[in-house]
């Protein structure tokens, strides 16, 4: 009895996971992960639009660029995830077709940034907009979108660390298909409210860190009037600094390099150094777009017929 009483405060203080990550609307599955990704994209578009217009950009530009950047980014994010988690899909016991199931989770941020940047570059060229100006405008929104997206990992019960007794540990439940009782971690439902583990919520750490990075980027941009891509580079440096330490806490399977180092740890170091170097050597000051010309008034309608 005493042992149970000692354990009770920690269990009561733990963070529960949702009992499911998918709801059925008739034959249509509504996936929390997809909703979080969509919500994050919406936040990034709204905030990026406000920031770009404040820099002299034309209203609607961010949405036009997003038509190219978002699909490119989703494809790039998935390719990066599959490339860095190859064994899950193509190793022993893997299912290659699962590599296409983006709705089950798995988007690598650097693939999304790289290929999304290609899409943004194409769209910016079509509109005559310098890519660094666009990147600086959308940078804070992107990192907030990442924070919103991490809520999808909470619904999917993924991206967590080792078992813990911390009062903010994350409860993990066994999910099953209610009809068959077969275990289904992504599409199933937790019928038993007893957690099978209480783990370090690394997804939550990254969510909170992303919000801190967004605040720092906005403050630095206003304080130092950053431009020429330095706002975006500061976002990359800040994000990778936190991701380095958070990645070390994770215990989920991952591709290992240089002996036993998670590949995302190495990528974080490389990206941090590159981004910091860019911040230090890039041109100072902020470039401004030329003032928008006022919209031309409608031509004068045909003069009214005059009496002869």
90 vs 305, residue with greater confidence: 90
Across residues 265-274, what is the average pLDDT? 96
Q: Is a pLDDT exceeding 50 seen at residue 306? A: no
For residue 6, what pLDDT is reported? 39
Q: What is the mean pLDDT of residues 141-146?
A: 97
Residue predicted with more confidence, 290 or 108: 108
The mean per-residue pLDDT over the stretch 250-267 comes to 87
Report residue 127 as tokens. 């509109």
In the predicted structure, residue 233 carries a pLDDT above the cut 90: yes
pLDDT of res. 1: 37
Average pLDDT over residues 170-175: 97
pLDDT at 303 over 70: no
pLDDT band at 240 (very low <50, low <70, confident <90, very high): very high
User: Model confidence at 295, in pLDDT bands (50, 70, 90)?
Assistant: low
- Residue 214: what pLDDT? 98
Q: Assign 291 a pLDDT band (cuts: 50, 70, 90).
A: low
pLDDT at 2: 37
Q: What confidence tier does 250 reach under pLDDT thresholds 50, 70, 90?
A: very high
Q: Given this model, what pLDDT does residue 289 score?
A: 75
Out of 154-168, 187-201, 225-239, 280-294, least confident range: 280-294
Q: Which of 48-57, 75-84, 100-109, 188-197 has the lowest mean pLDDT?
A: 100-109
Q: Per-residue pLDDT averaged across 67-96, rounded?
A: 86
Nearest to 229 by CA among 145, 114, 131, 112: 131
Among residues of the chain, what percentage have pLDDT more than 90? 66
Which of 44-53, 128-137, 231-240, 257-266 is least confident? Answer: 257-266
Please give the average per-residue pLDDT across 280-301, as a whole number.
68
What local confidence, expressed as pLDDT, does residue 290 receive?
63
The dihedral built from the CA positions of residue 119, 122, 123 and 124, taken in this order, carries a sign that is positive
């Amino acid at each position: 009895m005493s042992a149970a009483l000692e354990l009770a405060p920690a269990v009561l203080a733990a963070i529960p996971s949702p009992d499911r990550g998918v709801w059925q609307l008739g034959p249509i599955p509504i996936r929390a992960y997809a909703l979080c990704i969509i919500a994050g994209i919406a936040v990034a578009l709204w905030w990026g639009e406000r920031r770009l217009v404040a820099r002299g950009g034309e209203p609607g530009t961010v949405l036009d660029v997003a038509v190219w950047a978002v699909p490119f980014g989703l494809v790039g994010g998935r390719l990066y995830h599959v490339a860095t988690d190859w064994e899950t899909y193509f190793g022993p016991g893997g299912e290659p077709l699962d590599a296409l199931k983006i709705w089950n989770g798995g988007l690598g941020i650097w693939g999304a940034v790289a290929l999304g940047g290609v899409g943004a570059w194409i769209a910016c060229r079509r509109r005559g907009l310098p890519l660094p100006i666009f990147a600086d405008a959308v940078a804070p929104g992107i990192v907030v979108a990442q924070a919103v997206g991490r809520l999808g990992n909470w619904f999917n019960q993924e991206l967590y660390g080792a078992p813990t007794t911390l009062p903010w540990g994350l409860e993990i439940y066994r999910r099953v298909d209610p009809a068959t009782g077969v275990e289904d971690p992504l599409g199933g439902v937790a019928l038993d409210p007893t957690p099978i583990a209480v783990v370090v919520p690394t997804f939550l750490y990254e969510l909170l860190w992303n919000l801190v990075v967004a605040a720092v980027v906005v403050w630095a941009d206003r304080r130092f009037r950053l431009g020429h891509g330095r706002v975006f580079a500061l976002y990359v440096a800040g994000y990778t600094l936190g991701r380095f330490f958070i990645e070390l806490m994770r215990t989920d399977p991952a591709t290992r390099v240089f002996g036993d180092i998670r590949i995302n740890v190495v990528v974080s170091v490389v990206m941090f150094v590159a981004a910091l170097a860019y911040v230090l050597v890039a041109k100072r000051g902020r470039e401004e777009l030329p003032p928008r010309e006022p919209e031309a008034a409608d031509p004068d309608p045909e003069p009214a017929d005059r009496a002869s």
